[in-house]
Amino acid sequence: MASTYPSLHFHIVFGTKNRVPWIQAEHHRVKTFREELIEMLERAGVEYDERFLD
């Protein structure tokens, strides 16, 4: 018995004229990457060894 499967296709069009950057330099002036990583690990309750973060 033959069966037909419906297929759904999406076509997405976007522009970059008025795009806001996702990573903004001002954000990283407050904390270093290492400080943000440690904060994220602590909030998530992840145990880590600081020897491996350098």
How many other C-beta atoms are found inside a 10 Å radius of the C-beta of residue 13?
4
Inside any domain, residue 39:
yes
Inside any domain, residue 20:
no
Distances (CA, A) of 23 to 7, 11, 29: 36, 26, 12
Q: Given this model, what pLDDT does residue 17 score?
A: 75
Inside any domain, residue 14:
no
Which of 23, 50, 51 is closest to 38 using CA atoms?
50
Domain total in the chain: 1
2, amino acid identity: A
Inside any domain, residue 2:
no
Q: Given this model, what pLDDT does residue 46 score?
A: 93
Inside any domain, residue 29:
yes
Mean pLDDT of the chain: 79
Write the pLDDT tens digit of every residue in 8-33: 777 777 777 777 766 666 655 778 88
Q: Given this model, what pLDDT does residue 23 score?
A: 65
pLDDT over 70 (residue 36): yes
* Domain carrying residue 49: 25-54
